[in-house]
Structure 1
Amino acid sequence: MTIEERLEQAKLVLPDPPKAVGNYKPWVKVDNLIFVSGQFPIVDGVLRYKGKLGANLTMEEGYEAAKLCALNSLAQLKAALGSLEHLQVIARVDGHVNSAPGWTQQAAVLNGASDLFAEIMTDKAGHARTAFGHSELPLNAAVELVMIAVIKSEIH
């Protein structure tokens, strides 16, 4: 089963890749690596989840925000590669969570992204991950996701 078929089976739609919100590229390809810039929980150009986890956002909302960041990251990969089938593996994911003071459940929030990758990417989803808690994120986003992926050797 292809990645696109698994997306369809999960009733998920890969969005158009969000445009950069500053003077940077949404992704950069270097040899057999794709570096995906930070992706926010944006849907149709609108930031869906704003604010701090543990203050005005729940764990469940953070989990959903991380899933949206993951979908946007996959959209960037598809834009970079033409097809997600050219992906060898997601190597690293760094998750940044806008957190209230004393709130320490960042890793559980980022499971939203990791769970989505595992469901859709299966064997290509095995990634290293770091979870960060911040007092602020750009645009007051709830979550920001950064990714490094490896391209199949015959593609690059």
Structure 2
Amino acid sequence: MNATTPEQRLQQLGLVLPAVVAPRGNFDAYVLDGNTLYISGKGSPLRNDMAVVPKVGREISADEARQHARDVGLHLIATMQAALGDLSRVRRVVKVLGMVNAVPDFMQHTEVINGCSDLLVEVFGDAGRHARSAVGVGSLPRGFAVEIEAVVSIKD
């Protein structure tokens, strides 16, 4: 990519950051502690059109869930922008934890969470590469198929 800033990369990719909304509960969307930004888990878009909570491997495919993870990645980046004012302050995405609301025999958790990881590298380059865990869970809040949290190192 020829773009030099994360904001330019987002524009080059044709991506628009979503609005950051306040959490529903007694916690913060993020905590900035020194040079570390902790971003609370963000879920995939609530599927109001579904009467059943979407289980990956049953109601939605791994490919659909991967897109959910990419969408969550955009929300994480929007939270970074809200917390820092400038995405160029991101030194490195340090750690990502991705949770997939999947049927018990689902085995593609890594491929699903790659949707978020790939986006972080597209936007931040090598600074977007991170340590990661991708796990399957029996349920997630509000009908989420995917929930992801992140830890980010910040430049002074």
TM-score by length of 1: 0.91
- Report the count of equivalent residues: 149
Which region of structure 1 is more displaced relative to structure 2, 107-116 or 48-57? 48-57
CA distance in 1, matches of 2:129, 2:109: 19
Matching residue of 1:68:
71
Match of 1:117 among 115, 120, 130: 120
CA distance in 2, matches of 1:48, 1:71: 17
Q: Given the alignment of the two structures, is residue 3 of structure 1 paired with residue 6 of structure 2, yes or no?
A: yes
Aligned-partner residue type, residue 140 of structure 1: G
Matching residue of 1:51:
54
**1:52, CA displacement in angstroms?**
0.8
**1:51, CA displacement in angstroms?**
1.0
CA distance in 1, matches of 2:105, 2:83: 38
Misfit runs of 4+, over 4 Å: none
Deviation string 1:118-139 (CA, Å, 9 cap, x unpaired) is 1111021010000110010011
**1:48, CA displacement in angstroms?**
4.7
Q: Given the alignment of the two structures, is residue 25 of structure 1 paired with residue 28 of structure 2, yes or no?
A: yes
Match of 2:39 among 28, 36, 56: 36
TM-score by length of 2: 0.91
Deviation string 1:84-105 (CA, Å, 9 cap, x unpaired) is 1111000000000001121111
**1:23, CA displacement in angstroms?**
1.5
SS in 1 for 2:99: strand
5+ long unaligned stretches in structure 1: none
5+ long unaligned stretches in structure 2: none
Q: Given the alignment of the two structures, is residue 133 of structure 1 paired with residue 107 of structure 2, yes or no?
A: no
Matching residue of 1:100:
103
Give yes or no for contact 1:96–1:131 (8 Å, CA) kept in 2.
Answer: yes
CA distance in 1, matches of 2:64, 2:42: 16
The percent identity for this pair of structures is: 36
Aligned-partner residue type, residue 5 of structure 1: Q
Deviation string 1:63-100 (CA, Å, 9 cap, x unpaired) is 00000110000111111111111110000000000011
CA distance in 2, matches of 1:85, 1:53: 34
